[in-house]
Amino acid sequence: MARFLLRRLGLVLPALWLVSVLIFALAEIVPGDVARTILGPYATPDQAAALRHQLGADRPVPVRYAAWLGSFVIGRWGDSMVLHRPVRPFVLARLGNSLTLAAIALVCVVPISLGLGVVAGLNEDRPVDTAISLIGLSLTAIPEFVSGVIVLVVFGVQLGWFPIIAQPPPGAGPVERIHDLLLPSIPLMLVLFGYIARMARAGMVEVMASDYIRTAVLKGLPLRYVIVRHALRNALLPTITVIGSQVGWLVGGLVVVETLFTYPGLGKLIYDSAVGHDVPVLEATALLVAAIFMLSNLTADLLVAMLNPRVRYSD
Amino acid sequence: MAAGPAGPVPPGGDDAAMGGAPAGGVDAAARRVRGRPVLGRLIRNAAVLAGGAVVVFWIFAALEWRVITPYDPFAVGPAHPLASPSRVHWLGTDDLGRDVLSRVLAGAAPGLTIAPAATLLSLLGGTTIGLVAGFHRGLVDDVLMRLVDAVMSLPVIIPATVVLALVGRSTTNVILAIAVLFSPLVARTVRSAVLVEREREYVDAARLRGDRSLYIMFFEILPNVTSPLIVEGTVRLGYAVFTAGTLSFLQLGIQPPSPDWGLTVAVERAFVQIAPWTVLAPALALASLIIGVNLAADGVRRALAE
């Protein structure tokens, strides 16, 4: 198990490094000049050059990359060029906000979609299955901002059950926070639902057709016992991997949902900093997103390894 | 199984498991859980037809909106901004007094230009890469598969957002971004089909005949991998509509005063409380188009699988 973990961690670090190079390179080719951005259009060329020197922006690219990476690793993430504040505290606060939103979505959607996927798989090709599969397929395909706007109008405007801007007041208690975040979490759930249910269904169909299930049925076990004790464990293994990769996908959905509901999370931050060319913030945010993504995949793999000895001992 | 995230990143090989998994053995468990599939199949066929009809309707609107719109979608009407739906304006008016119905009909055009263009480009690029990688194997193949793994694992919206925001927002850039992000996925599908085909006897025959490898790839193998390619294209098209809509909602592509649905939702979001019809109409239009494309794609997939 430890070797498995080490090997997987050994893959994550180079990947993160690659992401950091890519982001740095991308920020490098962007038209625009740090000094000009800070000083505005009326500064003289001499002033701009002086500031560039002071910021170290006139050094060669590899040197600046090394310096940036070095200070990033030890936790000095620089100052935002737009907000003129240190990057780290508010990026981490935004991360907390996004994780809360994502957690609400995941906690609600995983049991529902697993359950319905299993039901569909047990009723293969019956109307129940067709309905679940088609609805899931359709919901997965609808962009978050579309389903977001629809729930916004129905539950926020018409029924007035939820606020249309998801910004819980600073002193809000956990219940109020969760209540305010339910609406933005719905579009995230809808996209995930179809995909998770589909994987659970496929796993269930495959397992139910296998020899050991036939043996269990033929030796007279009650069907419910066969499903719960024999089938589920194997049927849901691939689905766990999928849920892990969904956490990374969630971050993509967060960009959209947080923009729609003006929620101060990481997704909105990556969008705002990219649009505003706020490179230090963008670099920090993008690296965080990449790290979360890889860690969630790693967690899913570990879970699978824990549940399935064949994976654990294969290497 | 390659675990692709939902949305624009494709489901991996689970397509086969999703639909018509072969009835297989007549074992007791299967018989107990399997009912008569006729009703389910009927619902599916109806769904495919309905999906196709919706897509045809929106293509018609995208082509002929100048004829069928009751008002000029760009004409501002200062006298009646944010008017609720009435007999004069069936879907109401937006903040500039423009007719919402006309803008929704005209708004099909940008998305239905971007998505097919991006899909076609990704099919072209992906087919070429997939043919070369699958046929020659070796280093090209290894590099390609690593690239595919990397793209598969990306939440597509994030790289697209970062690149478009930094490099420049335009319709052309949106098309290129989607095409670049999608083509490795197409390449993967083509490659796996080519891996099977290259071992066939007709390829050996062509080689012995002295055909050049380019000729074998494009004139011998390509015609034999068209059906997975068509399925891939229809699936990709659905995701392209999704991604294009999302990027225009993020205002990274086409700019106002275009009636594009995603853009309209973003712009009219400010008036959601007093005039919900301004955002609801384009949102529902996009939802219907996407569901239509996916249902039709499902039908194509089934038809080719039989």
Q: What is the pLDDT of residues B143-187, one digit of tens each?
A: 877 777 767 666 788 888 888 887 888 899 999 999 998 998 899
For the cut 60, the answer to whether the pLDDT of residue A105 exceeds it is yes
A295 touches chain B (CB under 8 A): no
Cβ atoms < 10 Å from Cβ of A13: 10
Q: What does the alpha-carbon distance between residue B257 and residue B254 come to, in Å, rounded to a whole number? A: 9
* Average pLDDT for B60-79: 86
Interchain pair A251, B155: CB under 8 A? yes
Question: In the prediction, which pLDDT does A162 show?
Answer: 82
pLDDT, greater one: A310 or A185: A185
pLDDT digits (tens, 9 = 90+) for B265-282: 999 888 888 889 999 999
B16: closest chain A residue by CA: A202
* Rounded percentage of chain B residues whose pLDDT exceeds 90: 37
* Of the partner residues B156, B158, B283, the one whose CB lies closest to the CB of residue A146: B283
Question: In the prediction, which pLDDT does B18 show?
Answer: 37
* Of the partner residues B9, B166, B272, the one whose CB lies closest to the CB of residue A26: B166
Question: In the prediction, which pLDDT does A203 show?
Answer: 87
Q: Band of the pLDDT at A63, cuts 50, 70, 90?
A: confident
Q: What does the alpha-carbon distance between residue B50 and residue B53 come to, in Å, rounded to a whole number? A: 5
Cβ contact B113:B105 at 8 Å? no
For the cut 80, the answer to whether the pLDDT of residue B23 exceeds it is no
Alpha-carbon dihedral sign for residues A267, A272, A274, A277: negative
Cβ contact A178:A104 at 8 Å? yes
Q: Identify from B31, B38, B154, B157 which residue to disrupt to test chain A contact, counting A C-beta atoms within 10 A and taking the largest count.
A: B157
* Average pLDDT for A250-262: 88
* Of the partner residues A157, A238, A270, the one whose CB lies closest to the CB of residue B273: A157
Q: Which residues of B touch A127 (CB under 8 A)?
A: 39-40, 43
Q: Which residues of A touch B40 (CB under 8 A)?
A: 125-127, 129-130
Q: Pick from B223, B200, B217, B233: which is nearest to B132 by CA?
A: B217
Question: In the prediction, which pLDDT does A311 show?
Answer: 65
- Return all residues near A51 (Cβ < 8 A) that are at least 6 apart: A34, A35, A38, A39, A43
Q: Which residues of B touch A216 (CB under 8 A)?
A: 29
Interchain pair B155, A248: CB under 8 A? yes
Q: What does the alpha-carbon distance between residue A144 and residue A122 come to, in Å, rounded to a whole number? A: 29
* Average pLDDT for B39-45: 75
Q: What does the alpha-carbon distance between residue B181 and residue B156 come to, in Å, rounded to a whole number? A: 7
Question: In the prediction, which pLDDT does B36 show?
Answer: 54
Q: Band of the pLDDT at B299, cuts 50, 70, 90?
A: confident
B236: closest chain A residue by CA: A141
pLDDT, greater one: B3 or B83: B83
Question: In the prediction, which pLDDT does B165 show?
Answer: 83
Interchain pair A149, B34: CB under 8 A? no
pLDDT, greater one: B216 or B43: B216
Question: In the prediction, which pLDDT does B91 show?
Answer: 87
* Average pLDDT for A152-178: 80
pLDDT digits (tens, 9 = 90+) for B238-254: 899 999 999 999 999 88
Both tokens assigned to A286: 């993008």
Alpha-carbon dihedral sign for residues B109, B115, B119, B125: positive
B238 touches chain A (CB under 8 A): yes
> SS3 of B19, please?
coil
Q: Pick from B181, B190, B176, B178: which is nearest to B231 by CA?
A: B190
Question: In the prediction, which pLDDT does B4 show?
Answer: 35
Q: What does the alpha-carbon distance between residue B276 and residue B5 come to, in Å, rounded to a whole number? A: 31
Q: What does the alpha-carbon distance between residue A13 and residue A10 come to, in Å, rounded to a whole number? A: 6
Q: Please state whether the peptide bond connecting residue B257 to the residue before it is cis, i.e. omega within 30 degrees of 0.
A: yes
B44 touches chain A (CB under 8 A): yes
Q: What does the alpha-carbon distance between residue B163 and residue A15 come to, in Å, rounded to a whole number? A: 19
Average pLDDT, chain A: 82
A150-164, B142-156, B182-196: segment of lowest average pLDDT: B142-156
B11 touches chain A (CB under 8 A): yes
Average pLDDT, chain B: 82
* Of the partner residues B25, B39, B242, the one whose CB lies closest to the CB of residue A209: B25
pLDDT digits (tens, 9 = 90+) for A7-59: 777 777 887 888 788 878 877 776 666 667 677 777 788 887 887 777 777 77
Among A83-97, A118-132, B53-67, which range has the highest average pLDDT? B53-67
Question: In the prediction, which pLDDT does A10 show?
Answer: 78
In this prediction the ipTM stands at: 0.81
